[in-house]
Amino acid sequence: MNNPCSKCEEGPVNANGHDSLFAESFHGGHLMLKCRECGSFWMREATADGGYRWTRAAASQGALTP
């Protein structure tokens, strides 16, 4: 992974994270997203209160789409 862009450095928020993230793959209870700017990977999981938890991830943590 390259150095994170400023948006990934701040960390994703809400449902969409930030405008450079796109969905790479779906896995049971979470969604794997990748940043178009810096290549950072993120996992988004829904929380019981209707929000989202974001965790930095590695490409090896999911099956990626072409």
- The model's pLDDT over 10-25, given as tens digits with 9 standing for 90+, comes to 999 998 899 999 888 7
- Cβ neighbours of residue 27 closer than 8 Å, sequence gap 6 or more: 62, 63
Query: Is 34 a member of any domain?
Result: yes
Percent of the chain with pLDDT strictly greater than 90: 58
Q: What is the mean pLDDT of the chain?
A: 85
**Count: domains in the chain:** 1
Residue 30 lies in a domain: yes
- The amino acid at 22: F
pTM exceeds 0.85 for this model = no
Tell me which residue range forms the domain holding 31: 6-13+23-58
Within a domain: 1 = no
* 37 and 22 Cβ atoms separated by less than 8 Å: no
